[in-house]
Structure 1
Amino acid sequence: MVLEQVAFDIETTGFDADDELTVAGFALPLGVRVFLRTDGRTVDGVEAAVQEQVECHVRLSTHASERALLEAVGEFSRDRLADDDVLLVAFNGETWRSGFDLPFLRTRLTHYDVTWPFGDVPYADLLPVISKRFNTTVGEEECRDLVGVYDMLCGGADGALDPFEESSEAVAAFEAGEFTPLVLHNVADVLRTRALGGLAEQYCSKSEFNVKSLTATTQEYG
């Protein structure tokens, strides 16, 4: 049985332990689900503006605080991902000795004592699969970032959606309340991740995906 891939990516205010989550996005087979933190600011027309530029369906929900966003992600995961034959994938979301998205998420969840959202959800990181089974070397350097690897192996419209050249622009956009480009950036990233997941699925064996359970110990035995 082939599990249905769901690509995951987050946006944050930075990389430190006291930085915060601003956006979480999931690319599902029928569209993209985005959770946007607004801190009470106006977001009228953002979903429509994003949808005008994206071919697949985009559903956007807004949340007044980081805690509310985290709780909404948990509810979505329990309703849509758990026990539904899906495989959560990310690009450098969490590998053996590194990764960003899941470690960052854990730290922010502990800040509010919010339950881990990915019980009964298997996970595979795409970075090891891509780096080991595709040639991504340019000159003497191996390309290991999402945008670079996507442009090298896939190219196409998903990358063209992204209004930002650097990830720091997503931080500035959130601070300025420029939510449309921020959401577009996240949508572009989850679609890039989904495209790379599909590529790996097409050209690599199932054994190349180091699938692990994300169920927390207390969820598993509690």
Structure 2
Amino acid sequence: MRDWTDRGHVAWDIETTGFGWRGEITVCGFWYRGGHATLLVNAGPHSVDERLLTDGLDDASGADVRVRVCDDETELLRAMGEELFERFERDYDRLVAYNADSWKGGFDLPFVRTRCFRRGVDWVLDGVMSSDLYDPVKKRLNTTHTAYGASADANTLTGAHELLFEDAPDPAGLLDVEGHPWYASRAYDPFESSGSAAHHYRTGDLLQVCLHNLADVHRTWELGELVRVFVPAKDITEKRL
């Protein structure tokens, strides 16, 4: 993964109404190299102005964001497949996520599989090359922090990213060979956890939910590039979904 002639990264993450099998996907985000992102939004019972949502995301994050509003979860799942068909280069790209498919089982991939089955939608990630960042970040980068004589591991995406990137030099020159700027993903995340995103979705505050998802896919992409540079390829597992 450290070779720039190797596959490029496309980071992804989902927001949901809950963690149980009855939960639905509310937002699915993709972050591409160069600061380009796509968010697929399940409008559900809400009325959503796609243009206003896009402008709000652009203003808050500084990223180049494309928003597609879907009427329901079924349309969102199909839009995932269309997004990957249109923009994901299967011979050259790799989908990266954090704890989507880890040794503990992960969250995102099992959740999406269940939702595809429940909605009668064909497997939208079929044939996509994927790699999960949870194990290489936890095991090959030191994310142990100490406080008052005790130590703990940062097992979350937000926790790991904050520990590794806080006060670090600007990595743009080191990690982005195309010279694109790295935006401060933690600066525009309105929430500390995805639980808050689920609550705000129920109240119809979709801009805040989308900002949280955008920040998470941004963090995921940055961690993926960090792993590419500093972790040996043999310690990174990838597979075709």
* Same fold (TM > 0.5): yes
Q: Which amino acid aligns with 1:202?
A: V
**Does 2:35 correspond to 1:36?**
no
Equivalent residue for 1:10?
Answer: 14
| 1:176 pairs with one of 183, 203, 206 | 203
1:82–1:118 Cα contact (<8 Å) kept? no
Equivalent residue for 1:63?
Answer: 70
Give per-residue Cα distances to partners, 1:153-172, cap 9 Å, x unaligned. 01371111100123211011
Number of paired residues?
Answer: 214
1:27–1:33 Cα contact (<8 Å) kept? yes
Equivalent residue for 2:154?
Answer: 143
SS of equivalent to 1:207: helix
Equivalent residue for 1:75?
Answer: 82
Query: RMSD of the TM alignment (CA)?
Result: 1.3
Gaps of 5+ in 1: 215-222
**Does 2:209 correspond to 1:198?**
no
1:26–1:32 Cα contact (<8 Å) kept? yes
Range that drifts further, 199-208 or 125-134: 199-208
Q: Which amino acid aligns with 1:171?
A: A
Q: Which amino acid aligns with 2:204?
A: G
Residue 121 (structure 1) shift:
1.2
Query: 2: CA distance between counterparts of 1:166 and 1:132?
Result: 23
SS of equivalent to 1:52: helix
1:154–1:195 Cα contact (<8 Å) kept? no
Gaps of 5+ in 2: 167-182
| 1:22 pairs with one of 23, 26, 29 | 26
* TM-score, normalised relative to structure 2: 0.85
Query: 2: CA distance between counterparts of 1:43 and 1:51?
Result: 16
SS of equivalent to 2:44: coil
* TM-score, normalised relative to structure 1: 0.92
Give per-residue Cα distances to partners, 1:125-172, cap 9 Å, x unaligned. 001011111111123321110000000001371111100123211011
Range that drifts further, 40-49 or 10-19: 40-49
Structure 1 moving runs of 4+ over 3 Å: none
Equivalent residue for 2:179?
Answer: none
2:90–2:129 Cα contact (<8 Å) kept? no
**Does 2:207 correspond to 1:207?**
no
- Sequence identity percentage: 35
